[in-house]
Structure 1
């Protein structure tokens, strides 16, 4: 399972952005670039404009918000939930400050709020075995969800749907059913490339993805499931039968992405690499230049 990217979800330092109307379609963006340097407003504007034309402190709102306003980009916000109450309180302060600072220019662009990302997976037996990092229990996520609901109540963000992002292997665990009951939507992170215990070559990736999505939908209590991360690496090591290459990344886009786009909310991983700790593998569909290129490494038409 993928274990690194989700550890950065915070309104202070990370968020996801979307590009369309009826169903959201967009990319994942990190607050840092490939070498770990913080992205400023101009860098985010470049990324957002690249996506649209494609052929920092913990309690301060991330500079990407102004960039989103300037480029008319919608936002799926993420709050980091695995670093303890003090850090989460900083997240809440950042959210409150963003509402007060930007008002409707910000809140009208928010399509949803994710309280955490893969926290349940990291705290699960599989996550612990894979040394995935620090996670939290369902009880903590539920408490944080209520804290977010209390924070946005009576504000211009009150109507934003609140969810949680995790892996299908975490969603299907019975001890996490309370989180499903507490959210408005379930975020599904799924990477056939990382399903190394399964037959996962590119020609079987579509089936692996939809089996995982079906598992999440099977426990969703009828609530919508948003695909919050999926993609295929353009370079990196072989993962069981999965080969990282530009050709296979394009094949996965055509098989899975083009089927998803327009039918459900989906955010692709990723427009441009942002994880300095993941240098051996690249999911970016544009290179590391600043400003970001709008010329993808492969054909993204559907």
Structure 2
């Protein structure tokens, strides 16, 4: 299949597709001073996101005691989440399992979209594909013994992983994909150094390659697939030819995020809110980029929406 052709035609024909993919947002666990959030802070986040979604994604149940403080907010605000379980090291993994067993019974199964074991664990080479597959299988068995506040088993909730699109395309990682009920693919044209007039085409091409490979590995197109992370920063340093700005972020929203959702693919945007506490980051080429990690939110550090989130087809 010619994916570059598909990506181009996707942008052209997006408005003719009936089933709009769901929208969700990744959220952080700390406020702008770097202090862990509590329930009231999460409630404020969810209330701001409510006009656009009822779905969030987070990465670990035990870091910052996330699930302890977030679970009541999810219930109170009628939100649902992809619940992240951190698989490394074994101590951290056990802490996340312990938090899940303690706080999932305080929620409804309706508050949980899925569980992801790991976020870019293969990309970072934290685990081999088989080791990650084993962790996914282990968590499936573990969570099947937990019931929600109404006595329903979490065994019916999908368990999978999230990783970079290019890692998922690499057939070497097939054992991890085989173990998944769902797969989340992360794709950032900014971190590929793309100019804006090519960024959305590149992003859609990346995701379509990941979709095809996941379906090929699973031997079916009946698998739950999401974009796990994507977005564009509004400030900070350039990365190669990629330039942060509010205008570029809004363009990527319209031409990339809205288009992929119009093709029926559920999408998590990274991220809901700027995180002013974050340090500089380093790209794959070794270039340190000052400040950019602080400015991926659709809301700024003061809780002000940066640009229009409607899709203008």
TM-score, L = length of structure 1? 0.80
Residue 39 and residue 175 in structure 1: after superposition, are their counterparts in 2 closer, same or farther (change >3 A)?
Answer: same
1:79 is matched with which residue? Answer: 85
2:103 is matched with which residue? Answer: 98
- 3-state DSSP of counterpart to 1:236: coil
Moved over 6 A (4+): none
Deviations 1:132-176 (A, max 9, x none): xxx221122111111111112243211111111000121122321
Report whether the alignment pairs 1:172 with 2:169.
yes
- 3-state DSSP of counterpart to 1:31: coil
Deviations 1:79-113 (A, max 9, x none): 1123x11210111111111223x1xx332211111
Q: Distance in 2 between matches of 1:183 and 1:299?
A: 35
Runs of 5+ unmatched residues, structure 2: 1-18, 53-60, 148-152, 216-220, 281-289
1:31 is matched with which residue? Answer: 29
Partner residue of 2:201 out of 203, 207, 210: 207
Q: Distance in 2 between matches of 1:22 and 1:203?
A: 24
Structure 1, 178-187 or 209-218: larger mean CA deviation: 209-218
Q: 5 Å matches for 1:211-226?
A: 211-221=205-215, 222=221, 223-226=223-226
Runs of 5+ unmatched residues, structure 1: 1-20, 124-134
- 3-state DSSP of counterpart to 1:266: strand
Q: 5 Å matches for 1:127-146?
A: 135-146=126-137
| Cα shift at 1:261 | 3.3
Tell me, yes or no, if the aligned pair for 2:162 and 2:184 is still in contact at 8 Å: yes
Structure with the higher fraction of residues in helix conformation = 2
1:284 is matched with which residue? Answer: 297
Tell me, yes or no, if the aligned pair for 1:190 and 1:213 is still in contact at 8 Å: yes
2:12 is matched with which residue? Answer: none
Q: Which structure has the larger Rg?
A: 2
| Cα shift at 1:34 | 3.3
How many residue pairs align between the two structures?
259
Tell me, yes or no, if the aligned pair for 1:216 and 1:225 is still in contact at 8 Å: no
Tell me, yes or no, if the aligned pair for 1:59 and 1:94 is still in contact at 8 Å: no
1:67 is matched with which residue? Answer: 73
Residue 111 and residue 72 in structure 1: after superposition, are their counterparts in 2 closer, same or farther (change >3 A)?
Answer: same
Tell me, yes or no, if the aligned pair for 1:231 and 1:249 is still in contact at 8 Å: yes
Q: Distance in 2 between matches of 1:58 and 1:166?
A: 20
Q: Distance in 1 between matches of 2:279 and 2:33?
A: 8
| Cα shift at 1:191 | 0.5
Tell me, yes or no, if the aligned pair for 2:231 and 2:270 is still in contact at 8 Å: yes
Report whether the alignment pairs 1:244 with 2:244.
yes
Report whether the alignment pairs 1:272 with 2:264.
no
- 3-state DSSP of counterpart to 2:34: coil
Deviations 1:241-283 (A, max 9, x none): 1110000000000111212336222111111123622470111
TM-score, L = length of structure 2? 0.77
- 3-state DSSP of counterpart to 2:259: helix
Structure 1, 175-184 or 28-37: larger mean CA deviation: 28-37
- 3-state DSSP of counterpart to 1:218: helix
Q: Distance in 1 between matches of 2:110 and 2:279?
A: 34
